[in-house]
Chains A and B, each alone.
Chain A
Amino acid sequence: MTSIGTGYDLSNSVFSPDGRNFQVEYAAKAVENGGTAIGIRCKDGVVLAVEKIITSKLLKPGANKRIATVDRHVGIVSAGLVPDGRHFVSRARDEAASWRSVYKGPIPVSALSNRLGSYVQAYTLYSSVRPFGVTAIVGGWDSEAELAVDGQVGSGPKSGSGGKVDGARAGGPGLYMIEPSGLYWGYYGAATGKGRQAAKAELEKLDLSSGNLSLVDAVKEAARIIYVAHEDSKDKDFELEMSWISSLDGPTHGRHEEVPKQLLEEAEKAAKRSLEGEDEEEEEVAKDGPNQGERMEE
């Protein structure tokens, strides 16, 4: 059943007879036009990357960041309407701050995603609001070490259990994707935006669930995937923006940071090289015939 002309798409919070909320589906359409954003979760950290389409040559290169930091240990990247994404991040920061004021510690990535999922979902319920025009990828690292409570001044009693379980393991990477409907799931690899299909296909090849990919390799893969996803909109210029969160003993010490310039450039160079390699190979295949062109790319 089409939505056009039926009237069921005119308001949020109205179901169509076959059980769809068209406003939410339109919001998902807005996301499909945004620059590709991906997230990769590996054992020792999380990488976020986004294809930032350059809409004007008058924009300052490297300015207008699209990946935002929430608290210290979480990064959010979104595809879709940029202002909606900004508001989403602002809400995430408020949630993280409110968590701190109650629990005196950093918000777990799962709890933050849960709250943001609820927030986005609430915007599908009322006719006075429209749904979020973004799909957001939330990546972070929950500290594996025991953290001091914010403002803690001493070490507490030396005896007594204190509710601690010996040998209990906590913390680790977290990666969630929140859609305009409010639906959110945890992922090993997440992709959204225009090039999501190509990006998802590449992510699946990485076999992320086996936990063999290292964080630095994930940075390089993320760069390559954004370049692959950009192939379909080659006429537009873009900037690659990447951030990462490592474990406490890793390069960012559990903090969400931009990928250092040197590593970013290295990853970009490798990404370009691998794409050029593919092109050359295709040409070679065309020249030599299909049988001789089966060499693997590096």
Chain B
Amino acid sequence: MTYRQRRALTAYAFLLPAIVYFIVFFFWPIAIELWASFRSGQPLIGKSEFAGMKNYLYIFQDKLAIKAISATMIYALGSTVFTLLLALGLASILAGPLKARNTIRAILFFPYIVSFVISALMWKSILDPYTGLLNAALLKVGLPPQYWLTDPDAAIWVLVAVSVWKDIGYAVLIYIAAIQGIPSHLYQAAELDGARRHHLFRDITLPLLMPTTLFLAVVIMIASMQEMALPYLMTGGGPANATRLYSLHVYETAFQGLNIGYASALSFVMFLLILLITWVQFKLLNRDIRHV
């Protein structure tokens, strides 16, 4: 065996655990799901037969699926845009010489490390129309109580707000690291060129944060499109299916309706949709920035 072959073999030996892990827990389930999506009956758990594109074509007739897609898009876009905007603003302040910055960073990061179930139940209790803290506070200042989670127009935005609250600490942390990585001499050069604070932010900070923004946008968008715990725990998909996010629809189709083949097709469509959105984000936001 040559030296090159020995080296390659050693490399593969080290990679083997990761390769096995990915095959068993990622590629194999995806393959099974793809197989199941072309079958009717009870694939995976019982008898099934080949159904061709039937499951996929049915999605267009499934009003609940269409509604779930639109609710998911609102939720994912809302969560991503608001998280990024707020995180960028906060990070710009917290990256500076602020006295209490470490305390504020810790407070902001705290929701990110709290279990999703605990967060969801906590917010559900705070937002309860009759016993919740928020409405009690509104009443205290003379404002009418709101039906946060039972108003079909408001509920999805409440979920967006909780999602932003949960993720913002993570995004702020990443943004702060990126901002602190921008060389200070670039700001000084720009100041000498006549740039004021808003120019520095617009012309230096913002464009140099593009790779970070792309990373965060992709990560948050994908996580939001797969979101299930929040509507499942806070609203059960209601009111009037207004917060029936796609993953919840897939879950209920598969495990309550036991329509595994159709649920697999739904999942695969979501997979393709996420792929498409990620590609679009790369096209829109990807900038080749190499520091010299």
Q: Do A and B bind each other?
A: no
Interface residues of A (CB under 8 A from B): none
